[in-house]
Amino acid sequence: MFRMLAAAAAAAVLGGLGVAPAEATPNTPKTVELYAMDCGRISLTNADMFADDGSYKGVAAEMVVPCYLIRHPKGDLVWDTGLPAPAAGKPPPPGTPARSLADQLGDLGLTPADIEYVSVSHSHFDHIGNAGLFTGSTWIVDPKEREVAFNEAARKNAGTFAAYSALETAKTRLIEQPTYDVFGDGQVVIHKAPGHTPGHTVLLVRLKETGPVILTGDLWHIAASRPNRRVPRFNFDKAQTLDTMEAVEALARAEKARLILQHVPEDFAGLPKFPNPAR
């Protein structure tokens, strides 16, 4: 089903609804590249919240918090922006990365202002924490997730909200259909994947040498959650989450794609070490 929807969306985009080619940025690639950046760590002594059946009660867990840069001949997309930077004059919070997202982009000769598009799998603090860097980019977002990001409860969480609040007035493209083809050629496609949050999404990237990969956001936080279909206690909708798990697994089979569980250290380590890309 996802594959058919992706094909339909790609056809619509190529028919004139797509994105115009952007101006070249430093070292514009000839093919799609995927960079995995370390944007924090989360250490838990009790991961109980990540399974509503009690499987992780008292179990420790280590999670990586990644950011991804997808470089395309037509422009650049940052997917998920990691843990927020510490406030001025305050000590860094636990898990803060050794180097900022902006510094890591700098290793590639880029600044946040060079990034054409930004999108987050969802609006939790460890995925949207540096999104405020990209106010000059076009924000691609599910309308339900945008609503969550700017609802009353989100605004009351002042520290987290400040990290991305500037996106409220940024140029925005809403994901109205089941898929959104970022560059109009089927190589970088956002898929709606609700359940963890109302507007959660995953990202399919078709790489010429590596093959297709799917960045799964927070569909699964811990490796064992995937085969055991474990759902966090705090998910928005359990039934919807389970349906999405099946749909994303089906998409991976259809595409022969590798699923990247974003918080799993082994999956992160399985990608080329930054600043080297997967191609």
Q: Does residue 26 carry a pLDDT above 50?
A: yes
pLDDT tens track for 258-275:
999 999 999 999 999 999
pLDDT at 1: 40
Q: What is the mean pLDDT of the chain?
A: 91
pLDDT at 206: 98
Quick one: 2-269 is in which CATH superfamily?
A: Ribonuclease Z/Hydroxyacylglutathione hydrolase-like (3.60.15.10)
Q: Does residue 251 carry a pLDDT above 90?
A: yes
Q: Does residue 121 carry a pLDDT above 50?
A: yes
What number of residues does the chain have?
279
Q: Which CA distances in Å does 153 have to 131, 157, 160, 164, 196?
A: 19, 7, 11, 14, 17
Measured on CA atoms in the order 264, 269, 270, 274, is the torsion positive or negative?
Answer: positive
CA distance 258 to 7: 19
Structure tokens at 170: 């940024």
CA distance 32 to 39: 22
Structure tokens at 120: 């987050």
Q: What letters, b where the CB count within 10 A reaches 16 and e where it falls short, cover 122-138? A: bbbbbbbbbbbbbbebb
Domain ranges of the chain: 2-269
pTM passes above 0.95 = no
Going by C-alpha positions, the residue among 93, 87, 39, 91 that lies closest to residue 63 is 39
Mean pLDDT of 238-247: 98
Q: Does residue 27 carry a pLDDT above 80?
A: yes
pLDDT at 20: 44
pLDDT tens track for 207-218:
999 999 999 999
CA distance 259 to 65: 16
